[in-house]
Structure 1
Amino acid sequence: MTMEEAAGGDKLNVVLFPWLAFGHLIPYLELGKRLAARGHAVTFLSTPRNVARLPPVPAHLAPRIRLVALPAPIVEGLPEGAESTADVPPEKNELIKKALDGLAAPFAAFLADAVAGGRRPDWIVIDFCHSWVPAIADEHGVPCAAFQIVPGAMIAFFGTRSANAAHPRTTPEDFTAPPEWCASFPPGTAYRRHEARWVADAFKVNASGVSDMDRVCEITERTRFTIYRSDNEVEPAGAGVFSLLTDLWQKPAIPAGILLQPDFDGPSNDESRSGSARPEVLQWLDKQPSKSVIYVALGSETPLTAENLHEVALGLELAGVRFLWAFRKPTGISAPGTDVVELLPAGFEARTRGHGLVWTGWVPQVRVLAHGAVGAFLTHCGWGSTIEGLAFGHPLVMLPFVVDQGLIARTMEERGVGVEVARDDGDGSFGRNDVAAAVRRVMVEEERKVFSSNATKLKQVLNDQRRQDQYMDELVGYLTRYKDSNSY
C-alpha cells in the first residue's frame, strides 16, 4: 500500500494512549502525526499537565489531531502536580503507575461518550502498562493494538509467559545471556550483572500492585498485534527480531520505522519557536571545527549518582577533546539547593573553558546532533536518543543504566557504531579512565574511522525516507484490514 492509497482509502479514527513519561509521549505523538499526515483522525490521551507540555502539533496536521486531557488522579505519596516520571525521582515511578491505573474510570467515561456521540474509535493503541484498557474497549467492541517504544529485542528477551514457564529465570545471572527462545541473537546481546537486577525486578510485583512483566504480557495477549518504534536496520543483526516476536506471541509484530521527530525543536513555550535569536549552544558550536565536538547527554531520568557525574566530567577532561554537555540535574539527586557547581568536580568548568561547555538550560538536541561541529555522541542509550544519534551518523560512546539501555548498547557495539564505557560487572561502577578511553577510541584514535564509517552507513539506511514511509504504510494497512476482524 502506497501513501497515496492509504490517504485515499478508508479514514481511520485512532486513539493513542501512552505511558506517563515523555520518552513515550513524544513517540506516540509522532506516530499520531504520521497517521494524521495520511488523512486519519487521531485522539491523543494523557493528563492535563502532560498535554500542556507537549510540543505543538504542526498547523497542517492540527485539524486531525485532538489532544484530550483525562483528570489526573490523586495518589498517596505523589507530590501535587506529579503527572509523569519526569516529575518524580526514580523510586516513585511505581506510584506513577498507580496514577495511570487511576485513569481507568475517566478513560471508560471518555470511550462511552465517544461511542454514544457517534465517534467510535476504530482502534485504541496502548502502551506497555495499560493492562486494564482491553477489557473496557471490549465492552464497546473496539479493538486494541499495543505500541512499544522500546526495541523489539527487549520484548523478545522478556518473552511470553509460556516461554518463561518452560525456561524459568529466577536470578539476575539468568538474564546475562540470551534466553533459549532468542538463539538467533548475537551471544553478547544480553544484560550485564549490574543491569540484570533491574530486569529481574521487572518480574516482581511493585508498588503499583502489578509487575511490569505481567503488564507487558497482558497487553500483548489482549491486543490484536504489537507495533514497534523500530525497524530491521537497528535491531540485532541477523536476529530476525520481528519474525521471532510474531512466532513467540502468535500475532503480528509490526515495525513502524524509527519515527524521528525532525520538527521537534524544544519546549512549546521556548522563545526559539517564535523566531528569536539562535540558541547559545548552537552559537558555541558554530565556533568549533568540523566533527571536533562530542555531544554528551545522559537523559533527565537516568539514575545517575554524584559520583557518576564526577567520573564522567573527569573522563572528558582526561580525554582532552571538545565537548558540549547537556547537563541536567538527575531526578535521583534531589537534595534541596544542590546546583551544578556542587555536582561537578571543583574547578572543572574553569579548566575546560575554551574547549568544553556545560549547558544547564534547554538544548535543542536534534539541531545539535545535526550540527557539523559534532563528531560523536556520549549517550545513556535511551532508545529515542540512540535513534537520533544514528540518524545523523554519529558514532556512539555508550553508558547504559536501566530498562532497554544495556541491550541497545550491546546491539550497537556489535554493529560497530560505537564503544561502551567499561564498567565493573558486579556493581556497574566506572571511573574517569574508563570514560576517557572510550571517548578517545571514538574521537581520537585510528579506530574512530571504522566507527565513523559504520555510523555513516547506518545513517544512510535510516534516512531512506521511502523505506521509512513503507514501514508506516504497511502499519496503516494492518490497521485498515484488521479493524473489523477478530482474526489476525
Structure 2
Amino acid sequence: MGGDGGELNNNEVKVIQPKPHVVLLTMPAPGHMFPTIALGKVLARQGVKVTFLSSGCVAGKLLRVVEEEEELDMSIGTVLEDPLPEPENPLALVPWVAKLPPDEMVEHAYQLIQKLSPPACCIISDVFLPWTKELAEKLGIPRHFLVTMSASALSFMFSVPHFADQGLLPLEPSTEVEFPVPGVGNVAKGDVWEYFVKGNPFQFDPMIQCLQCLTESFPTATYLVNSTEELEPKVFRALTEPVPFTGQVAKVVSIGPLEQSFAFKGGEADSFELTEAAKSKKLSSEVEEWLDAQPDSSVLYISFGTIFSPQAEQVLELAHGLEASGQRFLWIIRLPDVPHIMVSKQPTKEEISAILPPGFEERTKGRGLLQSSWAPQPKILSHRAVGLFMSHCGWNSILEAISTSTPILGRPCFVDQWLNATFLEDKFQIGTILRDTGEGGFDRGRIETGIRLMMEGEEGRVARRNVARLNKVLRDAVTPSSGPSSKNLEQYVGEIFAMARKLNLSHVS
C-alpha cells in the first residue's frame, strides 16, 4: 500500500486501466438508429467509450446526437460513403444495405476500428448487418446484437431459417398456412414479412441467409432486446429454452425500453417524464397553442412514423373517415409517394390541400389540425389533450404510447408492424387494428368506426385501463437498481468491463 500522504512505495506501479471501448453499428433507418443511440448513451453514462459506425447517409444525424451530449465519451465514424443511391421505398432499405459491398464494408470498418484508442473490446451490431460477423472475427473481438424490434419479432427471425428449410418460405400467396413461433404461437400468413412472400415487389430471398447468419451466432453472441420480460413474458421464457430446430440456447437479454425521450421518475412521482433533451425539442407554436386549447384526452394524434408514405387514395380515405368520426385530430400528414422523412423538401400548404377532399380543411376547421413538418412525437403523446394514437405500430411507437398511457388505433404498414399490431390487440389489449381492404388500402368506414370505438366505446375504456397497467410494467422494468432491465444492463456493462480487461491483458502479454 502507499505510505503516509498517499505516496507510492518505490516498488509499486500504479496501473490505470483504459476505458472499455464499444463500437455500435446501426442501420440507416430512424427506427434502428434511435434505440442504438439510446443504448450508446446508457453505456457512455456508465463509463464506456462509445463509437457509432454507420453508412454515410446517416453520419450527419449521428453527429448531431454526439454534439448534443458533449459530456459523454461518444464519437462517430463512417464505414463507407454510400456508393448506391438511397432507396426511395422503405421496404427496399434492407436489400439496399445488403447490396453494399460486404468486403469493402468489412475492410473500411476494420481499418477504422484498428485505429481506435483505446482498442475496441466488442461490437454491438444491428441484426440486419450480417457482414459484421466477418468483421468481428478479423478483429478478434466478440460481436453482440441490438434487437431494435420486439422479442416476438426476434423469435420469429430465429424461426425463419427452419421455415425456409421446410419449403414454407418464400411463401406462396395462395397457401393457407400458419407458422408456429416459440412463445408467440401461430403466426398468421398476413403477419409474415413482405420479404418472404413470393410475387411481392419487395421479396428478398437473401434476407433468409441474413437471418441464418443471426442463428449461427448462438454460441458466442448476446442478443440485447429493446423490450422487457414483463411485457412479453411467454416469449422471453421460450427464448431461454433451446431454440427449436437448432438445439442451441441463445443468450437473450431484455434491456428495454431504450427510450431517449422518457426517464423514470421514482419516489412520489412514480412515472415516466420527458427527459430534458426531449423537453428542449419544441412543438411549433401553432401545435402547442392548439393542443392547449383542447379538452383532456379528446384529440386523436395520427402519425405513421418516419418512413411510411401513403398512397393518394389512402390519404383520401383517411380524411373522409376522420371527418365522419366527428373527433378532434392532429394529423402529421405526408405527401403521397414521397420517399421518406429523410427528404429535405417541405411541402407547401397548397400541396397538402391538393391531396385532400375538396373543402376538408374548412369543414374540419377548429377540431382538426394538419402538420406536414416533423414533430416531436413523445412530446405530443405526453400532452394531456391527446387521448388516442393512430399508429403504424412500429415498435418504438408502441413503447412511446405505453410510456404515455396512450391507447392505439393501429394501421400497420410493413415488416414487423403486422405482428406488433396483432400483439397489441390480442395480447396487450391496448388498442384495436384497422384491417385493410385486402390490397393495402384504407377504408373510410372502418376508420370512422375504429375512431368512434376507441374514443367513445367500451373498447377504448378497456384499452385505457390496460395501457395504464402496462405503463407501470415499463416503469418497474427500468427502476434504477431494482428493475429487471436496469439490472440486466448493469450486468452487461460489467461484462463489457471484463471483456476490456481480458483484451488489455492479451495486449500486454
TM-score (structure 1 length as normaliser): 0.82
- Cα deviation code 1:379-423 (max 9, x no counterpart): 000111111111100111000021100110010101210000133
Which residue identity is paired with 2:239? F
Counterpart CA distance in 1 for 2:293 and 2:287 is 10
- Aligned counterpart, 2:52: 44
- Cα deviation code 1:275-312 (max 9, x no counterpart): x8864312211110000001100123225211112111
Deviates more, 1:460-469 or 1:361-370: 460-469
- Aligned counterpart, 1:146: 145
2:395 is equivalent to residue 383 of structure 1? yes
Matches within 5 A, 1:168-247: 168-170=167-169, 171-172=171-172, 179-182=179-182, 184-187=183-186, 190-193=187-190, 196=192, 198-201=194-197, 211-222=206-217, 224-235=221-232, 240-243=237-240
- Cα deviation code 1:317-371 (max 9, x no counterpart): 111111111123355579x999322222222111111001111122111110000
Which residue identity is paired with 2:432? V
Deviates more, 1:10-19 or 1:57-66: 57-66
2:450 is equivalent to residue 438 of structure 1? yes
Which residue identity is paired with 1:151? S
2:336 is equivalent to residue 341 of structure 1? no
Which residue identity is paired with 1:432? R
Matches within 5 A, 1:231-380: 231-235=228-232, 240-243=237-240, 249-262=248-261, 273=280, 279-329=285-335, 331=337, 339-380=351-392
> Is the alpha carbon distance of 1:97 and 1:175 closer, same or farther for their aligned partners in structure 2, counting shifts above 3 Å?
farther
Which residue identity is paired with 2:229? N
- Aligned counterpart, 2:14: none
User: What displacement does 1:232 show?
Assistant: 1.9
User: What displacement does 1:432 show?
Assistant: 0.5
> For the Cα contact (< 8 Å) 1:312–1:432, is it kept in 2?
yes
Q: Equivalent pairs: percent with the same residue?
A: 26
Which residue identity is paired with 1:89? N
- Cα deviation code 1:207-243 (max 9, x no counterpart): 99x7122112214423522111111233375773532
Counterpart CA distance in 1 for 2:442 and 2:71 is 46
> For the Cα contact (< 8 Å) 1:306–1:333, is it kept in 2?
no
Which residue identity is paired with 1:18? T
> For the Cα contact (< 8 Å) 1:202–1:212, is it kept in 2?
no
Which residue identity is paired with 1:374? V
Name the Cα RMSD after superposition: 3.5
Q: What SS does the corresponding residue of 2:240 show, helix, strand or coil?
A: helix
> For the Cα contact (< 8 Å) 2:21–2:122, is it kept in 1?
yes
Matches within 5 A, 1:59-78: 62-75=71-84, 78=85
2:469 is equivalent to residue 457 of structure 1? yes
Counterpart CA distance in 2 for 1:233 and 1:173 is 35
Counterpart CA distance in 2 for 1:105 and 1:202 is 34
> For the Cα contact (< 8 Å) 2:23–2:123, is it kept in 1?
yes
Which residue identity is paired with 1:232? E
> For the Cα contact (< 8 Å) 2:161–2:212, is it kept in 1?
no
- Cα deviation code 1:429-470 (max 9, x no counterpart): 331111111111111113321111001111111123312422
Which residue identity is paired with 1:462? L
Which residue identity is paired with 1:423? D
- Aligned counterpart, 1:423: 436
- Aligned counterpart, 1:4: none
Counterpart CA distance in 2 for 1:207 and 1:174 is 15
Matches within 5 A, 1:4-153: 11-54=19-62, 55-57=64-66, 62-75=71-84, 78=85, 82=86, 88-90=88-90, 92-93=92-93, 94-99=95-100, 101=102, 102-114=104-116, 118-153=117-152
User: What displacement does 1:104 show?
Assistant: 2.8
Q: What SS does the corresponding residue of 1:158 show, helix, strand or coil?
A: helix
Q: What SS does the corresponding residue of 1:413 show, helix, strand or coil?
A: helix
> Is the alpha carbon distance of 1:175 and 1:455 closer, same or farther for their aligned partners in structure 2, counting shifts above 3 Å?
farther
Counterpart CA distance in 1 for 2:339 and 2:138 is 44
Which residue identity is paired with 1:198? E
Counterpart CA distance in 1 for 2:78 and 2:48 is 20
Counterpart CA distance in 2 for 1:96 and 1:232 is 31
> Is the alpha carbon distance of 1:352 and 1:312 closer, same or farther for their aligned partners in structure 2, counting shifts above 3 Å?
same
> Is the alpha carbon distance of 1:373 and 1:430 closer, same or farther for their aligned partners in structure 2, counting shifts above 3 Å?
same
> Is the alpha carbon distance of 1:125 and 1:402 closer, same or farther for their aligned partners in structure 2, counting shifts above 3 Å?
same
User: What displacement does 1:96 show?
Assistant: 4.2
Which residue identity is paired with 1:20? P
Which residue identity is paired with 1:458? L
Which residue identity is paired with 1:64? D
- Cα deviation code 1:42-100 (max 9, x no counterpart): 1111234412224534866644111223341322xx2xxx4xx6xx3336533344237
Gaps of 5+ in 1: 1-8
Q: What SS does the corresponding residue of 2:402 show, helix, strand or coil?
A: helix
Deviates more, 1:93-102 or 1:443-452: 93-102
Q: What SS does the corresponding residue of 2:100 show, helix, strand or coil?
A: helix
Counterpart CA distance in 1 for 2:233 and 2:176 is 16
Counterpart CA distance in 2 for 1:214 and 1:375 is 42
Q: What SS does the corresponding residue of 1:350 show, helix, strand or coil?
A: helix
Counterpart CA distance in 2 for 1:404 and 1:207 is 15
Which residue identity is paired with 1:213? I
Counterpart CA distance in 1 for 2:420 and 2:283 is 36
Q: What SS does the corresponding residue of 1:447 show, helix, strand or coil?
A: helix
> Is the alpha carbon distance of 1:339 and 1:178 closer, same or farther for their aligned partners in structure 2, counting shifts above 3 Å?
same
Counterpart selection for 1:471 from 478, 488, 504: 488
Gaps of 5+ in 2: 1-16, 264-273, 504-509
> For the Cα contact (< 8 Å) 2:193–2:416, is it kept in 1?
no
TM-score (structure 2 length as normaliser): 0.79
